[in-house]
Amino acid sequence: MRGQELSLLKWSGLLLVLTALLLTGCSRSGEAGKADEAMLRMEHVEPFYRSIPQILDAAGGVARKDFGAGVDADLALLRPVMEAAFKVEPMLARARQDLKAVEIGNADLSAFLLATDAFMQAQAAIEAENKTSPDKVRQAAAEAYAQRADKNRIENLARNMAITDIQVEGALLGRRLQEAAAFRHVEEPAAWQRLDDQGLENDATKFVQRTRAEGDRAYSPFRDDLLRGVAQEMLMIVLLRLPEPSLKALEDFYSSDVGKAKRKALVAAVAAQSDADTKEMMIEYLRQLR
């Protein structure tokens, strides 16, 4: 009987240990999921994808300036296929999947979660103030920046966040849409009219690969350094309002191995989805131009 009691005690202890480990694993998993969602919000992934119609407006304006009102008919074809291709839900699904694939190990993300809340609150306050007094917002940021002894720290954190590279994806998309809007004015119609469906897919694939490899183009105002700079400036305005604990938590996260891996995964997810959506858009657009 005594042996049975000891055996039961031993198994009870083991069950308690296993339960604790399981609960810890669930807690870690839940914390990682919350951190991923917080990162998606803070890095403006959804707003970026929702802004793509405005990028087309700007690209269409550039094409119209270069080639005249004749591009309006092409823009009328391009807009619906662009809207059909670039959907927020698949973008977010890919980003969540790729962020989830990054192991957090023993990283404690609780401070990061609190910092993202502070970041979003500061950003909301700035957006509200911008509606009535944008000059005051910029002036206050300039004064706060001038008074800081750790300017490099703020600048480095802004550069280390993913939104700067995500906005560069916006510049690339602007160049792609600008070129697509002017396609019929710079290419011979035979270049796409003779293509079957497989040929259209091949051409769309080459378009995506070429435009990503080219980088900035002299003819386009959609420049990587310009959009990266704008994103960095807007980030700094928010970061300057954060209390020291929140700033330190964001700094620690983005300089950590986990933070660097999450950032890399998020930027890669946005780039991959944008490439896939651009290809889908171009296939249908070229089909409509035939």
> 263 in a domain, yes or no?
yes
Residue 11: inside a domain, yes or no?
no
Does 76 map to a domain? Answer: yes
Number of domains in the chain: 1
Q: Is residue 255 part of a domain?
A: yes
Q: Which residue stretches of the chain are H helix?
A: 2-42, 45-50, 52-67, 71-85, 88-100, 110-132, 134-147, 151-160, 163-181, 183-186, 190-193, 197-214, 224-239, 244-255, 257-289
Reduced to 3 states (helix: H, G, I; strand: E, B; else coil), residue 177 is helix
Residue 22 covered by a domain: no
pLDDT for the residue 16: 43
pLDDT tier for residue 289 given thresholds of 50, 70 and 90: confident
- pLDDT tens digits, one per residue of 101-152: 998 888 789 999 999 999 999 999 999 999 999 899 999 999 999 999 999 9
Structure confidence at residue 13 (pLDDT): 42
CA distance 268 to 274: 10
253's tokens: 């996260």
Q: Is residue 207 part of a domain?
A: yes
Q: Any idea of the CA torsion for 127, 133, 136, 140, to the nearest 10 degrees?
A: -20
Residues 239-266: what's their mean pLDDT? 96
Residue 65 has pLDDT above 70, yes or no: yes
pLDDT over threshold 90, residue 86: yes
List the Cα angle 179/205/217 in 5-degree steps.
Answer: 35
The whole-chain average pLDDT of the chain stands at 88
176 versus 183: the higher-pLDDT residue is 176
- Percent of the chain's residues with pLDDT above 90: 77
At 203-236, the pLDDT tens digits run 999 999 999 999 888 778 999 999 999 999 999 9
CB 163 within 8 A of CB 228: no
Residue 109 token pair: 């993300």
Predicted structure pTM score: 0.87
- Terminal CA-CA length for the chain: 87
pLDDT at position 188 over 80? no
Residue 30 is predicted with a pLDDT of 66
pLDDT tens for 143-178 read: 999 999 999 999 999 999 999 999 999 999 999 999
Query: Dihedral through CA 120, CA 123, CA 124, CA 126, nearest 10?
Result: 160
Give the separation between CA 44 and CA 277, rounded to whole angstroms: 18
Q: Does residue 25 fall inside a structural domain?
A: no
The answer to whether position 112 is within a domain reads yes
Which of 60-74, 126-140, 181-195 comes out lowest in average pLDDT? 181-195
Question: Containing domain of residue 116, as a range?
Answer: 31-289
Supply the pLDDT for residue 29.
Answer: 54
